[in-house]
Amino acid sequence: MEINDLKKKFEEIYGVKSEFTFFSPGRVNLIGEHIDYNGGFVFPCALDFGTYALVKVRDDNKLNLASTNFELRIGSDLDNLSYKEEDDWANYPKGVIKIMIDMGYKVKGMDIIISGNIPNGAGLSSSASLEVLIGVILNNLFNEGKIDRVELVKIAQKAENEFVGVNCGVMDQFAVGMGKKDKAILLDCNSLNYKYADVKLLDYAIVIMNTNKRRALNESKYNERRAECEEALKIIQKQKNIKNLCDLTPKEFDKIEYLFTDEKIKDRAKHSVYENDRVISAFDSLNKGELEEFGRLLIESHNSLKNLYEVTGKELDSLVEEALKAEGCIGARMTGAGFGGCAIALVRKDKIDTFTEQVKKTYTERIGYEPSFYSSGIGEGTHQIFE
């Protein structure tokens, strides 16, 4: 929805004009999947599309939330914010606000309208986008913009972990909050050290492909993988003094592989160690303009997520396989949590039209419904829009 239409909508709902406008992007992860919670490196970037919020500060203690994407509206007192299943999307803003109140940050009553253009459940972090958005609103409007951005990122993650109950890592909130135009972020999830990297794709572009299988963050499977990694870590710690699975190099891992009696647990650990190594290689190859090598690493990453980590499924696998058959595509992989949602493909710019046409056709033949394709630039992290 255009900002001006959104402003009209705000007036329609609340009977007053909005005062402030904010934007928060979605994210895509280039490589480094399911290792943010294993102390590994990830390589995400913020997207051009995301979530808008219009805000009017109120004189009382009331929080009103509406969205153009969902019918549901809620009204609540600020001192009475609790998780309610039926509050659905509104639990994300409520969670961030509650946690910030509990931490002693200043908050006042607000009327808010949210409007997002990130496809829901596509694994492009619509929830992290919304969480960081609310954190930045509270920072800019009531806390003089003094809260450090990385602190806000951690607060957003905490809201998801503790209020919503999804045990996610820090990658999504970090990419959303710290994104920079035309840059990917190489983030060490153990230390939270990071650096920005140019994404020089030369004659190529990243195409985002949605399986259109709703991912609905398969929470139980996600939390199960985390538990399996913790089990693997304990087994390794009997021999080696490490803090995270990703502290190991592939060579070190190969030497202690014999410690595992359960193949599944070994595979989860192996994915984590090797994926971490691939992130660094991918970062280097992108820097050197070695796109073929970068593409090869994307494919390797997908295969590892399929065979060792088992988080792909037939939709993501079909989409990636069909993408790789198409002319001009030199790499593809699932992105995000998996089990559905989106994949990315590295495609020659002059082949994008024929690529999407072919993949749409062959994926639909295999799966029975169409995929969607998006092209997005790399955008800025969450910010206030001054008009």
Q: Which is nearer to ligand GLA, 55 or 217 (CB)?
A: 217
Q: Which stretch in 34-42, 228-236, 282-290, 348-356 sits in contact with ligand GLA by CB under 6 A?
A: 34-42
- Catalytic residue (choose from 111, 172, 267, 277): 172
Nearer to ligand GLA (CB atom), residue 27 or residue 348: 27
Asked if residue 350 lies in contact with residue 156, where contact means CB atoms within 8 angstroms, the answer is no
Least distance from ligand GLA to the Cβ atom of residue 371, Å: 19
Answer for which of 36, 275, 300, 322 binds ligand GLA (CB under 6 A) is: 36
Cβ 213 to ligand GLA, closest distance in Å? Answer: 16
Closest to ligand GLA by CB, 113 vs 171, is 171
How far apart CA 172 and CA 136 sit, in angstroms, is: 15
The verdict on 34 binding ligand GLA (CB under 6 A) reads: yes
Total of chain residues touching ligand GLA, rule CB under 6 A: 10
Assess 229 for contact with ligand GLA (CB under 6 A): no
Interface pattern 314-343 for ligand GLA (x via CB under 6 A): ----------------------xx------
CB burial of residue 341 (10 Å; 0-12, 13-18, 19+) = buried
Beta strand extents in the chain (DSSP E only): 20-29, 41-42, 44-57, 62-67, 74-77, 110-116, 183-188, 194-198, 204-210, 329-334, 342-348, 372-374, 383-385
Closest CB to ligand GLA among residues 295, 336: 336
Per DSSP, the residues of 158-227 read: HIIIIII-----SHHHHHHHH-BTTEEEEEETTT--EEEEE---TTEEEEEEE------TTHHHHHHHHH
Please give the backbone phi and psi of residue 54, each rounded to the nearest 5 degrees, phi first: -110, 140
C-beta of 129 vs 140, nearer to ligand GLA: 129
- Closest approach, Cβ 171 to ligand GLA, in A, equals 5
Rule CB under 6 A: choose which of 33, 228, 247, 277 binds ligand GLA. Answer: 33
Minimum distance, C-beta of residue 332 to ligand GLA, in the bound complex (Å)? 16
Helices 91-102, 126-142: inter-axial angle, 10-degree rounding: 40
For residues 154-173, which are near ligand GLA according to CB under 6 A?
Answer: 168-169, 171-172
- Establish whether 172 is a catalytic residue: yes
Q: Please identify, among the stretches 31-39, 279-287, 288-296, 367-375, the one whose residues bind ligand GLA according to the rule CB under 6 A.
A: 31-39
Which residue has tokens 């009696």? 261
List 196's β-bridge partners, or say none: 185
Measured CA to CA, the distance from residue 318 to residue 322 in angstroms comes to 6
Of residues 68-87, those binding ligand GLA (CB under 6 A): none
Phi, psi of 76 (to 5 degrees): -155, 155
Report the alpha-carbon distance of residue 285 to residue 236 in Å, rounded. Answer: 31
Q: Are 21 and 54 in contact (CB under 8 A)?
A: yes
Q: How far is the CB of 63 from ligand GLA (least distance, A)?
A: 25
Q: Which of 298, 307, 283 is nearest to 345 (CA)?
A: 298
The Cα diameter of the chain in Å comes to: 67
Cβ nearer to ligand GLA, comparing 34 with 94: 34
List the catalytic residues: 172
Give the interface with ligand GLA as residue ranges (CB under 6 A): 33-34, 36-37, 168-169, 171-172, 336-337
